[in-house]
Structure 1
Amino acid sequence: MSFVVIYLLFISVTSFAVFGTDKFLAKNSRARISEATLLVTTFFGGTIGSVLAMFIFNHKIAKRSFLMKFFIVVSVQLLLIYLFYRYGIK
């Protein structure tokens, strides 16, 4: 497997775990993981893990303010991917 595939698998699993941990903490009235941390793991490649966790754990899917930030992060990712493939790195 290439480095990129391994990295994306690792960050997706990490993001999934971070969202799952935050849901566990929320259900048990304990200190939470910040939304910024959730969004950072998403931004750095954990989008698939984040989306899966949001639906599997039913976490953050009803909070509009978070969803707006989440969709902005995903939109920026898609724009960066487009620019990378369109213009490459020189």
Structure 2
Amino acid sequence: MAIELPKGTRDEAIASIQRYFEAHMDERIGNIAAGGLLGFFLEEIAPVVYNQAVADVQERLQARVSELDIDVHEDAFTYWRKREKPTRGK
């Protein structure tokens, strides 16, 4: 599954790459080169981040599902217990 960004997000990412190069590499990078670098990161590195995020979500969901019985548990056969009158002296 290819990871693609919406056009606006892609444009912002390219601008951010260009700004990073200017600030940290003391050189400018053009729009096409920054887009190529972004494409490389999306194809090569983004799947690792994506897969880790999916694994993290699965872990959290499994923890929530395992506690589901605690959250929604209902005691059975409580009709008569609710209606019994407490006896005096006990």
Using structure 2 for the length normalisation, give the TM-score. 0.28
Using structure 1 for the length normalisation, give the TM-score. 0.28
Query: Higher helix proportion, which one?
Result: 1
